[in-house]
């Protein structure tokens, strides 16, 4: 019997990509404002309502994707961001415990300050958020660990897919295509992951009844500028790409410069080795 996973935030950017791979219909998408009869309604502000929704859904686990992930938005609306990134995860943790369900919480590479130029492990001493979004997500991680024993915390970077939706590959492609000259940060490093690999990791860890914190990323350790060069070359786009500095190019001055993740722990646990960005481009050619 296929175990069902209640997904909160399945209509967001990452959720839409993960749903592309859910051919076995493991996901039960939930929303405060359902847009079809295939989604169930939840009220994340009420723990008692959450408990009822979780019990009635028939799920064995809960995947929490909902978040306010733009740091500028977080800083401009502290009340809303605190609810989305701290209070809401706390409500889901309490409800999950009451219902005896696992909570799978998707966190971020922004919990690392990015100063140390090495791939970050789950136990890295480099866990020190330098912006509000990273701080809020790290607070939520600690709340979940305090409330629950039955949890998964998955720290991710950018998620990509060739499908035309809001994701790292598609957004980068559009920027390159629409700009004859484009300056791109050559000092911002990260490790994006293909959405199919992230989906497989989630299902594998959930099926194994594993608890704990895992980095989930691709194997790459490249700058945004290097990723853009790969995309430009693969699609034969005409654009003069120029290397720049993240501090000069972004309106947000608190972006960590190096959040490349070490995913050895999740690879050893699941046997899933995420594809590299370059190999993915070759594969879809």
Residue 58 phi/psi, 5-degree rounding, is 80, 15
Query: Is there a domain that residue 62 lies in?
Result: yes
C-alpha–C-alpha distance, residues 150 and 212, integer Å = 8
Furthest C-alpha separation in the chain: 56
Query: Is there a domain that residue 239 lies in?
Result: no
In this structure, the dihedral spanned by the alpha carbons of residues 213, 149, 102 and 48, taken in order and rounded to 10 degrees, is -130
When pLDDT is cut at 50, 70 and 90, the band that residue 249 belongs to is: confident
Query: Is there a domain that residue 251 lies in?
Result: no
Q: For residue 122, give the nearest of 144, 146, 155 by alpha carbon.
A: 155
Report field, pTM of the whole predicted structure over 0.85? yes
pLDDT for residue 233: 96
When pLDDT is cut at 50, 70 and 90, the band that residue 1 belongs to is: confident
Query: Is there a domain that residue 9 lies in?
Result: yes
pLDDT for residue 49: 96
Query: Is there a domain that residue 282 lies in?
Result: no
Q: Work out the mean pLDDT of the chain and round it to a whole number.
A: 94
pLDDT in tens, 37-89: 778 999 999 999 999 999 999 999 999 999 999 999 999 999 999 999 999 99
Query: Is there a domain that residue 280 lies in?
Result: no
pLDDT in tens, 118-147: 889 998 777 989 999 999 999 999 999 999
Query: Is there a domain that residue 75 lies in?
Result: yes
Cα separation of the two ends of the chain: 36
**Which range of residues forms the domain containing residue 103?**
5-161+191-220+260-275
| DSSP 8-state assignment for residue 39 | S
When pLDDT is cut at 50, 70 and 90, the band that residue 36 belongs to is: confident
pLDDT for residue 128: 87
Query: Is there a domain that residue 126 lies in?
Result: yes
**Number of structural domains in the chain:** 1
CATH number, domain of 84, equals: 3.40.50.720
Structure tokens at 246: 């993240």
Structure tokens at 97: 């415990």
């Amino acid at each position: 019997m296929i175990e069902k996973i209640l997904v909160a935030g399945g209509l967001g950017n990452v959720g839409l990509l993960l749903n592309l791979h859910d051919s076995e219909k493991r996901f039960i998408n939930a929303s405060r404002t359902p847009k079809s009869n295939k989604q169930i309604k939840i009220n994340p502000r009420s723990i008692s309502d959450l408990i009822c929704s979780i019990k009635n859904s028939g799920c064995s686990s809960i995947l929490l994707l909902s978040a306010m992930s733009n740091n500028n938005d977080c800083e401009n609306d502290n009340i809303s961001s605190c609810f989305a990134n701290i209070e809401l995860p706390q409500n889901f943790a309490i409800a999950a415990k009451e219902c005896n369900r696992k909570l799978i919480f998707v966190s971020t590479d922004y919990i690392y300050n990015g100063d140390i130029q090495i791939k970050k492990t789950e136990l890295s001493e480099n866990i020190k958020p330098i912006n509000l979004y990273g701080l809020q997500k790290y607070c939520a991680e600690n709340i979940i660990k305090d409330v629950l024993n039955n949890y998964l915390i998955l720290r991710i970077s950018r998620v990509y897919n060739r499908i035309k939706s809001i994701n790292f590959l598609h957004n980068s492609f559009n920027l390159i295509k629409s700009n004859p000259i484009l300056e791109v940060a050559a000092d911002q490093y990260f490790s994006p992951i293909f959405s199919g690999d992230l989906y497989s990791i989630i299902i594998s860890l959930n099926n194994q009844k594993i608890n704990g914190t895992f980095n989930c990323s691709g194997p790459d350790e490249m700058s945004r500028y290097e990723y853009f060069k790969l995309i430009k070359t693969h699609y034969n786009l005409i654009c003069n790409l120029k290397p720049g500095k993240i501090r000069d190019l972004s309106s947000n001055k608190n972006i960590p410069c190096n959040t490349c993740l070490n995913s050895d722990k999740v690879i050893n646990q699941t046997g899933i080795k995420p594809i590299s960005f370059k190999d993915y481009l070759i594969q879809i050619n």
